[in-house]
Structure 1
Amino acid sequence: MDYNRMMIITLDEKSVLFSADAQKLGIHVEKYFEKRTLIVKLFNYIDKKLNLQLASYQYGSWKKKLKDIDFVLLNAHFFSRPLIKYLNRKFPDIRIAVWYSNPVAKDTPVSFYSGLNCELWSFDKSDCENYGMHPNNQFIDQMKLNVTKHDDSYHSDVCFIGVDKERLTLLLELEDYFISQQLNPLIYVVDSSKNSRTDYAYKPALPYSELINYEGNTKAILDIVQSDQQGISLRPLEALFLNKKLITNNLNVQELDFYRPENIFVLTDENHQDIAAFLHTPMVSLPEAITHKYQFEGWFANFF
């Protein structure tokens, strides 16, 4: 595989596809725009409403590389439709894949890409079945999993950091239960447009590097999935590569090749009393053949 002929175009450095591991392999990792100026935002708005491509005039210098590119990977976003139209028109031989890292119900409608020459890929099994999408697992960018702080303020027994997405009530119930069992939970629910209540003091967002510092100093990462989600989030992979236990209410993890009951506790309404014993059970290691597919290189190979 000639990585120099591959390109990822994404929103910004915070995007899951803005991968340091990809850059290390030699893949071109680019942002749509060098800077989203007022005129770019205006063009984005018009493009979305009228299905135009005005923003293509503001794309970054990566446009000059496209003549030497065979494959472009994009994340699902309204920015991607004008770009796909641009690529289809200017570079019709470039293969284009759109990656859904969230369930379709929480992301860009599949109809957004109707009539375009591109492939739709998802981590979510039900979305792949319902919309005819190509399946791929989630991946983790290992170069971002760098735990740099270890002082006591980062330590916990169970850690959840994320936005609400209708999960707050359950998270607070679990927090109360953990405390009742003399455990030290960190339940950090970030203020966002996904808030479900007005009587809770949501927390400011953390840089991903700080999230990793907290997860790197916990005994177990807590993963509470959205009700309509069948694929896994990034938390199971963060637990896998940070060598942490995972507590999750996602029953589908039992079907995964890295599931081991010593490492992953599947949470139900009836088994909370078993959590403390699980936290004291030694973890088991996994072979490289399994973990490789969840690293960027293994994940990217699945597109071919």
Structure 2
Amino acid sequence: MINYKNIMIVTLDKKSVLYSTEAMDLGIDVNSYFKKRNFFIKCLNHIDKSLNTTYSSVAYGDWKKRLGDVELLILNSHFFSKSVIKYVNKHYPHVRIIIWYSNPVSVDTPIDFFDGLNCEIWSFDKKDVEEFSLNYNNQFIDTSKLKITSHEKKYVKDICFIGVDKGRLSYLQELKVFFEKLELNSMIYVVDSNRNSSTTYNYETPLSYEKLINYEGNSKAILDIVQENQTGLSLRPIESIFLGVKLITNNNMVKYQDFYNEQNCFLLTERPLSELKQFLNTPYIPVPDKILEKYTLKNWINNFIRFDSDK
């Protein structure tokens, strides 16, 4: 029997995927690093990063006081995590620490940033797992956030992409032109961020996750364009199977997943775009509950526990 009350998650903020309502419902202690990250805290963060110190620990939230009861601590791969690991290694050496990479290592914190620390590094990307000798866990989603709250006409699209640039803008623009030729109603919503590849493109303001789900859930298909060198699943394929919406993707690894069905998933790497309209007009085939369960937060957490038990 897993005691979820002995597990803690510390992440960036409430917008983070790891800041999960489902985790809280299980009894997991979910927190942000800092109560409020003001200018002073930002300075301490960068001092810690440069000098390998833990000065920012003075500003940690109340979760710091509860570490004595924690057996498993899950952190994301942000550079903030290093000072947390050092602090916990020193004061609570019994705590098992996991660093979770939900982006390819090539665009995230370098693996060697965590060298010399007592922690495990896990990734969603099997290519990175093999290259850097990491541990693998599948991508997950907080299903409590997958609620379509409106069916207004503005949300109804044939194809929907909402995300930041990450070097994908040019390809997304090419696809949009082709969608228009097919007379498909597409939404290509590229959000302004520090990952922009263009100085002239008119980037969009961020949407709430609730609105994102309304757009995706009312669309015929979600467009999933992965970053260069990424083989792991982004959240979009997972969102698609829970929302019961088709997927259009350039991630060829999708065809090796347990939920893959060519009637639901259109692989841009293998099928001509001329077949897209026909693909969108065929019925969606629901994914069995047993497969959906694999991608829940509870199963994601349980994978960490099973790994430790199997040692």
User: TM-score, normalised to structure 2's length?
Assistant: 0.96
Aligned to 1:114: 115
Paired residues of 2:241 and 2:286 also in contact (CA < 8 A): no
- RMSD (Å), alpha carbons: 1.0
Contact 2:102/2:139, CA 8 A, preserved across alignment: yes
Residues 70-125 of structure 1 show CA distances to partners (whole Å, capped at 9, x for unaligned) of 00000001100000000000000100000000000110110111000000000011
**Residue 274 of structure 1: aligned partner:** 275
* Partner SS for 2:8: strand
Q: How many angstroms apart in 1 are the aligned matches of 2:142 and 2:72? A: 20
Corresponding letter in the other structure for 2:103: N
| Alignment partner, residue 95 of structure 2 | 94
Structure 1 runs of 4+ with >6 Å offset: none
- Quote how far apart the aligned CAs of 1:280 are: 1.1
Q: Provide the C-alpha distance between the structure 1 equivalents of 2:32 and 2:45, rounded to a whole number of angstroms.
A: 14
Q: Provide the identity percentage.
A: 52
Specify the code of the residue in structure 1 equivalent to 2:149.
T
> What amino acid does structure 1 have at the position aligned with 2:80?
F
Counterparts of 1:178-193 in structure 2 under 5 Å? Answer: 178-193=179-194
Residues 1:215 and 2:216 aligned together: yes
Per the alignment, residue 126 of structure 1 pairs with: 127
Q: Which residue of 1 aligns with 2:150?
A: 149
- Give the distance between the partners of 1:211 and 1:286, measured in 2 at CA: 22
Counterparts of 1:145-184 in structure 2 under 5 Å?
145-184=146-185
CA contact (8 A) 2:241 2:287 kept: no
Q: Which moved more, 1:212-221 or 1:33-42?
A: 33-42
Residue aligning to 2:13:
12
Find the aligned partners of 2:286 and 2:157 in 1 and give their Cα distance. 22
**Which letter maps to 2:163?**
G
> Which amino acid in structure 1 is aligned with residue 112 of structure 2?
S
Shift of 1:270: 5.5
The residue type equivalent to 2:125 in the other structure is D
- Helix, strand or coil for the counterpart of 1:273? helix
For residues 244-290 of structure 1, give each alpha carbon's deviation from its aligned partner in whole angstroms, at most 9, with x where no partner exists: 00000100001100111111111137610111111111121222221
- In the aligned structure 2, how far is the partner of 1:282 from the partner of 1:54? 56
1:200 equivalent in alignment to 2:201: yes
User: For residue 309 of structure 2, what is the aligned residue in structure 1?
Assistant: none
Q: How do residues 189-268 of structure 1 correspond to structure 2 at under 5 angstroms?
A: 189-268=190-269
Contact 2:126-2:136 at 8 Å conserved across structures: yes
Residue identity in the other structure for 1:105: S
Which residue in 2 is equivalent to 1:84? 85
**Secondary structure, counterpart of 1:303 in structure 2:** helix
Displacement of 1:142 after TM fit? 0.6
Give per-residue Cα distances to partners, 1:46-91, cap 9 Å, x unaligned: 1011010001111111112111110000000110000000000000
Instruction: Identify unmatched segments of 5+ residues in structure 2.
Output: 306-311
Moved more, 164-173 or 262-271: 262-271
Task: Go from structure 1 to structure 2 and tell me whether the alpha carbon gap of 1:270 and 1:21 turns closer, same or farther (over 3 Å shift).
Answer: closer
Query: Distance between the aligned counterparts of 2:68 and 2:228, measured in 1?
Result: 43
CA distance in 2, matches of 1:193, 1:269: 32
Give the 5 Å matches for 1:5-84.
5-84=6-85
Question: Aligned pair count?
Answer: 304
Q: Post-superposition shift, 1:138?
A: 0.5
How far apart, CA to CA, are the structure 2 residues paired with 1:57 and 1:47?
Answer: 12
- Distance across 2 between alignment mates of 1:36 and 1:135: 31
Shift of 1:37: 2.3
Q: TM-score if structure 1 supplies the norm length? A: 0.98
Any stretches of 5+ residues in structure 1 without a counterpart? none
